Amino acid sequence: MTEVTAANAPDGTPTRGGASAVTVARVRGRGPARWTWGQLGLLVVLATVVLFTVPNPSLAIGMLIYGLWASGLNLLVGYGGLVSFGHALPFMWGGYAAGLVLLNVTTSVWLALFMAAASMALLSLVVGAVCLRRTEVYFSMLTLAFAQLGFFIALQWDSVTGGDDGLAGIPVPTLWLPGTTLELNSLRDPLTFFLFTAVVVLVTFAALILYTESPMGRVLQAIRENEERARGCGYNTRLVQLVTFVVAGTVAGLAGGLFAMLNNFVGLQPYWLLSGGVLIMVILGGRSSLFGPFLGAVVYLLLETTLSQYYASWQLFVGAIFVVCVLAFPQGLWGLVISARPRRLLSKVRRRR
């Protein structure tokens, strides 16, 4: 992972000024930093593998959507050190926003996704402005409180959300492209829906990489390492964290909109359970990269789908597996791969010498 150094630049020369000391980052031989843009290629490979190996098209599409949701959350958890227990709020309400647009305004997929992302960016701005007034466990509890508030609003506001029955009858969205118009029906034409979802996920994933590699992304990682030092160097740490919170909420809203289109339905589920599930995906896949949560989403959904067919209490087995994974490799699946492969290659080179 990229580590922030406060004394020397990447070439070993001393830095000038406190601000440059915080933002200068160098790679200490770890894989995630070297694989920053290689992750985009790995995501293409993962999407291809999922397409040809997962027999259930809805599950394959859901893996990409959940992976995008988890990758956005990792901006807060892995890069910002902010553990959110309420990330189901923008995901589910992004689904409501997209569903309401498709039901009442237009069947255009572009407008529905735009409204899902934009409305959740605005909601995240309000929620983040309140939650970021506190840090550590208090921040986490505030995000959980807002998620529960959103759940009960969705439950009581049945004229808009459908209450317990959910938002049903969402029409099939229409994809308008230059010279052609397609219907994104996950049942009749799952391949088209999968390819469209894959393109949206890849473009969003590239934007997340650009954000983490931008100066603001570097400052975010510096805040995670030492917020007081970053603040002392003149950075507005709350502003950087708030922008990151909004970006993560926007990505969650986009994922929620895609999920609503996949199922043509937005149901009422326990937000605390959904928030815990996506957090497990992040930790299981690895917090040190944006690609890791995609691995976590694929493994988690495969475990859920397989175990739920044979055991009513499948969550017990998933929890036990999660505990073992955390104890065995705390850096997640991505950290396990990155730490194992280079060491093997180096050992082989040394033996040959």
Name the DSSP class of 185: -
Asked if residue 15 has pLDDT above 70, the reply is no
pLDDT, tens only, 111-166? 999 999 999 999 999 999 999 999 889 999 999 999 999 999 999 998 899 988 98
**CA nearest neighbour of 251 among 62, 40, 41, 70:** 70
Asked if residue 348 has pLDDT above 80, the reply is no
Do residues 90 and 249 touch, judged by C-beta distance below 8 A?
yes
Do residues 68 and 255 touch, judged by C-beta distance below 8 A?
yes
Q: How far is the C-alpha of 226 from the C-alpha of 231, rounded, in Å? A: 9
The pLDDT value given to residue 298: 96
Q: How far is the C-alpha of 291 from the C-alpha of 277, rounded, in Å? A: 17
Average pLDDT over residues 301-316: 89
Q: Which residue type is seen at 288?
A: S
The pLDDT value given to residue 350: 52
> Which residues, at least 6 apart from 143, have a Cβ–Cβ distance to it below 8 Å?
84, 85, 86, 87, 89, 127, 131, 275
The pLDDT value given to residue 203: 97
Average pLDDT over residues 299-309: 92
The pLDDT value given to residue 328: 84
Do residues 264 and 170 touch, judged by C-beta distance below 8 A?
yes
Q: What is the pTM of this model?
A: 0.87
Burial of 221 (0-12, 13-18, 19+ CB in 10 A): buried
* 313: confidence class by pLDDT, cuts 50, 70, 90: confident
The pLDDT value given to residue 340: 63
Average pLDDT of the residues of the chain: 86
Name the CATH topology of 36-212+224-352. Answer: ABC transporter involved in vitamin B12 uptake, BtuC (1.10.3470)
Do residues 208 and 74 touch, judged by C-beta distance below 8 A?
no
pLDDT, tens only, 163-220? 889 898 899 999 998 888 899 999 999 999 999 999 999 999 999 999 999 999 999 9
The pLDDT value given to residue 1: 40
Residue that wins the pLDDT comparison between 76 and 24: 76
Q: How far is the C-alpha of 69 from the C-alpha of 301, rounded, in Å? A: 13
pLDDT, tens only, 49-93? 999 999 999 999 999 999 999 999 999 999 999 999 999 999 999
The pLDDT value given to residue 179: 84
Name the DSSP class of 85: S
> Which residues, at least 6 apart from 105, have a Cβ–Cβ distance to it below 8 Å?
111
In the three-class reduction of DSSP (H, G, I as helix; E, B as strand; rest coil), residue 170 is classed as: coil
Question: Phi then psi for 182, rounded to 5 degrees?
Answer: -125, 150
Displacement of CA 95 from its chain's centroid (Å):
15
* 285: confidence class by pLDDT, cuts 50, 70, 90: very high
Do residues 109 and 315 touch, judged by C-beta distance below 8 A?
no
The pLDDT value given to residue 35: 61
What are the tokens at 214? Answer: 């931008």
Name the DSSP class of 186: T
pLDDT, tens only, 231-267? 888 899 999 999 999 999 999 999 999 999 999 999 8
Q: How far is the C-alpha of 197 from the C-alpha of 192, rounded, in Å? A: 9
In the three-class reduction of DSSP (H, G, I as helix; E, B as strand; rest coil), residue 153 is classed as: helix
What are the tokens at 12? Answer: 């070993």
Do residues 279 and 293 touch, judged by C-beta distance below 8 A?
no
In the three-class reduction of DSSP (H, G, I as helix; E, B as strand; rest coil), residue 270 is classed as: coil
